[in-house]
């Protein structure tokens, strides 16, 4: 249990510029018993602080709340070298992603140089299909870069849910990625790490290249592509196999073809090899054993299969020699279909739906505009206080093909439900305070007034077990007690709202 005093928490938050003095006073007045626990609930409920920020205060860690003038809200993801946070830039409250080099690499000159190399590449590339890096620098001894925030998921995670992507959806993504890679190569930047985790699929359907951390810039063969001797194994193995030079732009073409292959078929061209021995992984790669996409169960039309297979030729001379050639072929195929598209703009969509008080918007694909069958979209009201969990719900529900209405106040949630009932409710009672049960019962009454049961997933905090006996028994309820995983939430929602 933290020894932090409530008044000290409020004072520190004001001094750091996270909240105003008036906000601190409002939260203190709203705290039920004046304890640290009730004050933090007040801050969270009012959206003044995030749980990530509160936890840092409890650990007496007063660094890392701001980078480059942007406020950090919560942790998003992490890799070997860096952590990525969701942040906002003032004025305007623009959403940004903040990438911060891990502390253990601050004294590693090679890691710092690689980090700055990625930032240098990113700031020089401004393209609708490349995640933009706005600025980078060092603050309080920590290296950071401020990046475009993309609402969505990476291609690997996207395909875990979707399995494969229909031609109608995939072609604009393929064109966008090809144009992005052509643009970067035209500016002297080879990517050197094209794979599913380095391609983001925004919620509006736009595909974006990210992470130029292994990029070769301006033909620099010295390359900052090393991390304690670790270099992208697949690129090295390919170039050893076909005797092409390191940093060959045609290697990017090959692996972009691999991405297209997986998007359309749901199959990896080469199985992932689990081994800590990088040399062993490299030697096990057999590029000549890749099954042609035309022989896959979900092979695309011959014209497109021919393009992808040529992108993936092991004989580097038989492969496309430039992205200009790839684009000409893809654009000719697009013209053949008679479905011109602009990969730099969102796909046609069925609707735009509101994200709550945060002011963000989510968009849903209009599958009927392409070959895939129309999807019956479900409306879900999500009642959640913590911004980190809001973010997780956004991604999870978007992947399930749901429209989401997000509200962080229990009373307001009940009002919204009465105004426009949804197919289901995700109700996180943890942190909502005394009004949590009353608001939920209000939604229950509204559903029964409309002649049906309330379909709801109720999440309870570790100290809310007593609420379980107070919830209605004549509804379609699934009750989960924390700690839980997002997979548990998705499984429960699948039972309440079968997708498909």
Name the band, by pLDDT with cuts 50, 70 and 90, for residue 355: very low
Would residue 481 count as lying in a domain? yes
DSSP element (H, E) containing 77 = strand 70-78
> What order do you get walking across the sheet with 152-154 strand by strand?
152-154, 199-202, 207-209
Residue 356, pLDDT > 60, answer: no
- pLDDT value, residue 419: 83
Q: Are residues 412 and 356 in the same domain?
A: yes
CATH of the domain at 69: 3.30.200.20
Q: Are residues 193 and 316 in the same domain?
A: yes
pLDDT digits (tens, 9 = 90+) for 139-156: 988 999 999 999 888 898
Would residue 225 count as lying in a domain? no
Q: Are residues 315 and 364 in the same domain?
A: no
Q: Are residues 160 and 305 in the same domain?
A: yes
Residue ending a domain, among 337, 366, 390, is: 337
Q: Are residues 165 and 308 in the same domain?
A: yes
Name the band, by pLDDT with cuts 50, 70 and 90, for residue 435: confident
CB 499 within 8 Å of CB 378? yes
**With pLDDT > 90 as the criterion, what percentage of the chain qualifies?**
35
Residue 164, pLDDT > 80, answer: yes
Q: How many domains does the chain have?
A: 4
Would residue 381 count as lying in a domain? yes
Quote the domain boundaries for residue 333.
153-219+232-337
Q: Are residues 113 and 236 in the same domain?
A: no
Please state the pTM of the whole predicted model. Answer: 0.69
Q: Are residues 8 and 20 in the same domain?
A: yes
Residue ending a domain, among 14, 38, 61, is: 61
CATH of the domain at 278: 1.10.510.10
Would residue 109 count as lying in a domain? yes
Q: Are residues 302 and 173 in the same domain?
A: yes
Q: Are residues 25 and 53 in the same domain?
A: yes
Would residue 224 count as lying in a domain? no
What DSSP state is assigned to residue 446?
H
Please report how many Cα atoms fall inside a 13 Å half-sphere around the Cα of residue 53, on the Cβ side: 26
Q: Are residues 178 and 298 in the same domain?
A: yes
b/e 419-449 (16+ beta carbons within 10 angstroms → b): eebbbbbbbbbbbbbeebbebbebbbeebee
CATH of the domain at 481: 3.40.50.2300
Per the model's pLDDT, the better-predicted residue between 298 and 203 turns out to be 298
pLDDT digits (tens, 9 = 90+) for 436-469: 888 899 999 988 988 889 999 999 988 888 888 8
Q: Are residues 205 and 79 in the same domain?
A: no
Would residue 226 count as lying in a domain? no
Would residue 344 count as lying in a domain? no
Euclidean distance between CA atoms 394 and 397, whole angstroms: 6
CB 350 within 8 Å of CB 364? yes
Cα 54–381–366 angle (5° rounding)? 115
Residue ending a domain, among 124, 149, 174, is: 149
Would residue 342 count as lying in a domain? no
Q: Are residues 37 and 69 in the same domain?
A: no
């Amino acid at each position: 249990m933290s020894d932090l005093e409530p008044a000290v928490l409020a004072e520190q938050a004001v001094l750091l510029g996270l909240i105003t003095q008036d906000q601190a006073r409002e939260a203190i007045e709203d705290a039920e018993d004046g304890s640290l626990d009730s004050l933090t609930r007040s801050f969270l409920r009012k959206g003044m602080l995030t749980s990530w920020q509160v936890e840092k205060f409890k650990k007496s860690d007063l660094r890392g709340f701001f980078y480059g003038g942007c406020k950090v809200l919560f942790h998003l993801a992490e890799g070997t070298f860096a952590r990525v946070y969701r942040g906002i830039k003032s004025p305007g409250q623009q959403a940004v992603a903040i990438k911060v080099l891990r502390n253990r690499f601050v004294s590693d000159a090679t890691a710092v140089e690689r980090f700055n190399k990625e930032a240098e590449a990113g700031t020089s590339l401004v393209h609708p299909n490349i995640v933009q890096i706005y600025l980078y620098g060092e603050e309080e001894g920590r290296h950071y870069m401020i990046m475009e925030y993309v609402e969505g998921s990476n291609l690997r995670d996207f395909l875990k849910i979707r399995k494969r992507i229909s031609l109608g959806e995939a072609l604009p993504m393929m064109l966008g990625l090809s144009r992005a890679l052509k643009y970067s190569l035209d500016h002297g930047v080879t990517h050197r790490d094209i794979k599913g985790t380095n391609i983001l699929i925004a919620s509006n359907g736009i595909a974006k290249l990210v992470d130029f951390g292994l990029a070769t810039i301006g033909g620099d063969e010295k390359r900052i592509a090393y991390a304690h001797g670790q270099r992208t194994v697949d690129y090295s193995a390919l170039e050893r196999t076909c005797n092409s030079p390191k940093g060959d732009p045609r290697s990017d073409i090959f692996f972009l073809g691999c991405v297209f292959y997986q998007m359309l078929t749901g199959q990896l061209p080469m199985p992932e090899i689990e081994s800590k021995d990088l040399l062993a992984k490299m030697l096990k790669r057999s590029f000549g054993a890749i099954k042609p996409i035309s022989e896959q169960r979900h092979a695309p039309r011959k014209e497109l299969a021919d393009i992808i297979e040529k992108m993936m030729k092991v004989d580097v001379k038989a492969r496309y020699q430039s992205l200009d050639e790839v684009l000409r072929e893809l654009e000719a195929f697009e013209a053949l279909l008679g479905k011109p598209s602009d990969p730099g703009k969102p796909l046609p969509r069925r609707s735009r739906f509101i994200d709550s008080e945060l002011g963000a918007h989510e968009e849903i694909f209009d599958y009927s505009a392409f070959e895939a069958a129309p999807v019956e979209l479900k409306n879900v009201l999500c009642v959640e206080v913590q911004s980190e969990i809001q973010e997780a719900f956004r991604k999870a529900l978007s992947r399930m093909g749901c429209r989401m209405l997000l509200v962080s106040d229990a009373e307001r949630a009940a009002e919204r439900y009465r105004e426009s009932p949804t197919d289901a409710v995700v109700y996180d009672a943890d942190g909502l305070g005394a009004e949590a049960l009353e608001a939920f019962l209000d939604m229950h009454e509204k559903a029964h007034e409309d002649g049906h049961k309330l379909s709801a997933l109720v999440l309870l905090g570790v100290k809310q077990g007593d609420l379980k006996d107070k919830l209605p028994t004549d509804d379609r309820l699934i009750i989960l007690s924390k700690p839980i995983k997002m997979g548990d939430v998705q499984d429960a929602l699948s039972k309440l709202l079968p997708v498909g």
